Structure formats: structure tokens, C-alpha cells
Structure 1
């Protein structure tokens, strides 16, 4: 016999019902999170719009002076230079057979004896004047290496050596000063220590000059 067509309803399984509940719960939580996020954004926007905005500072790039900053001033005034600048070396200074003295070629040269005499005259003119440490060191150095003590002898040596520079021999101030400073005992020694004299003065004349200088030396 055929069964009567009765539609039976199959009850839902427990695990399927739990999955549906979890799905709706997660969906509700996501929707609630979106609502809270929108509310927070609207609050931030309203709060920001209600605060006064500070003007943005502008910097003029064409200005010659830099923008000033807060704080104590660090500007200082440098003292004015009173001494003469030392000339830069040209790189070709040489006191050998061919003299290359640069800017000092035509400058006056002084022997230690001449410097000592000059400093003594300065002290006599201002006896109570206080000098610098460099001054006193220079004075002691020149006194130590001075070959002549008497003022008259210093003047005679200067005259003997200066005559060589005005005779057209080619002898310059530097070489004159070297002859008065070194007081060489022989022509060979003079030409060795002052090689630029070669070809400017004969051995006989140079020997006469050295003998005249030697007579005026102070060996004390």
C-alpha cells in the first residue's frame, strides 16, 4: 500500500542554531562598532572646528637678515686690528746662490749689534716705560749674539758694509747684514755661509772687508 503524503518537519540541529546565533551576534557587534566610530569622529570634528586657529607664520625668503629668535643676544663686537698684517709667503724665498727673498728683497736688514744699539736708544728716551715680554727676549738675544759692544764700532762696521751696497756690485741689504753678523775669518768661510756673494766681489776685496771688520770686534 502506498503511504499517505504527509510532510514531516525535520527539527534543526543544535550546532546549526548556535552558528546562526553567533553570526547575528558578530554582525551586531560590527554594526555597533561602526556607529561608535562615526560618533567619535563627529565629536572630534566639532571640537576642532570650535577651537580658534593660530595664524601660520610666514618667512620672507628675500629678506637679507635671518629671522630673529627668542633668547639672549650673542652678537659681539670684535676689537679693531691695530698691527700690520704679515705678508703671505710667496713660496720662493731662498737665501742661497741666487737670492729669492720675496717681499723682503729691498727691506732694511739689521745685525744683532745694530738692533741692540737701537733698543738702548729707545730705553734711554723712555726709561720708565714698560715693554712686552717679546721686547725683553729680543733684547737679550741680540746682546748674546752681538759681535760689537761699542757704539762707535757698530757705526764703523755699518759704514764698511754699507759701502758695498752702493758701489753697483749687486750686494743687497741681506748680504751686508750677514757680513756684519757672521764676522767670517776667511774668504772661503764667507762664500760658504753667504753663497750669493759669488760673482759679486773678488776674493781680494772681500778679504780686505773681513779684515777691517775683524779689527773692530769685541772679544771680551
Structure 2
């Protein structure tokens, strides 16, 4: 009998973002949208900005950020949280800023609810200062 037995682990459930199933690494974690990451990177001390990872990340978020100031970023999160979305759905809507209901593809929301959310996002994007 070997003393080097490996502990058996229960099989993990398959991850599937389309079904809002995420691995245990994401349990209890928050998801940030690109505009939030952009704001966080702006607050990084200068001496920490010279790494390749920082540079690539900053370039990516600059390209894809939709909301450019703290007030807009706070307001979009607050607005979408009122719709009781899964945290992943909230982030996807804020990142993509879809125009059409079909693009949003949310799991458990009616077309009318999705349209309302997209209208809210559009208004916030249009009027950000």
C-alpha cells in the first residue's frame, strides 16, 4: 500500500458563463467593468506604471472604456444594480453598451426589461460629463 496517495477531489461542475456558472475561484468575488479598471489604473503610482503588464492593460482599457469619469462609472453600476442582475451580466452590459436587445442576451430577463436597461445605459453614456 502506497503512502503517497492523492486526495480525491469531487469533480467540479463545468463553468459556463452563458448559464452564469463560474468556478469556485469566482465565488464571492466582484466583477469590474472595463471603465472601473480604467479608473483604478489612473490611480496607480507613477513608479508602478512601467511594467509590461500595466502598459498592456492600460492600452486595452483605454481602447474599450465606455465611461470616462468616476461619476459616470458610479452611476452606471448603481443604475444596473437596480435591475437585480447577476454581477457578470451587469459587467457585460456596462462593457458592451449594446444597442439592441438581441445583443444583450441576458438569461432571465424579458425583452422589455432589457430594453429599459439598454436605454438607461444609453442615456448615461450620452450625458456623461
Do both proteins adopt the same fold according to a TM-score greater than 0.5, normalized to the shorter chain?
Answer: yes
1:213 CA displacement: 0.5
1:116 CA displacement: 0.2
Could you say which residue in structure 1 is the equivalent of 2:121?
213
Matching residue within 31, 53, 62 for 1:109: 31
User: Runs of 5+ in structure 2 lacking a partner?
Assistant: 1-11
Q: Are residue 130 (structure 1) and residue 52 (structure 2) matched? A: no
Matching residue within 74, 77, 81 for 1:155: 74
Q: What RMSD over aligned residues (CA atoms) do the two structures have, in Å?
A: 1.9
Distance 1:212 1:99 in 2: 23
Greater fraction of residues in helix = 2
Distance 2:40 2:83 in 1: 22
Distance 2:76 2:119 in 1: 11
1:130 CA displacement: 3.2
Normalised by the length of structure 2, the TM-score is 0.76
1:211 CA displacement: 0.6
Could you say which residue in structure 2 is the equivalent of 1:99?
20
Contact 1:107 1:173 in 2 (8 A): no
1:91 CA displacement: 6.4
Normalised by the length of structure 1, the TM-score is 0.47
Q: Are residue 172 (structure 1) and residue 90 (structure 2) matched? A: no
Q: Point out the structure with max Rg over C-alpha.
A: 1
Could you say which residue in structure 1 is the equivalent of 2:41?
119
Distance 1:176 1:130 in 2: 30
* Higher RCO (Cα < 8 Å, 6 or more apart): 2
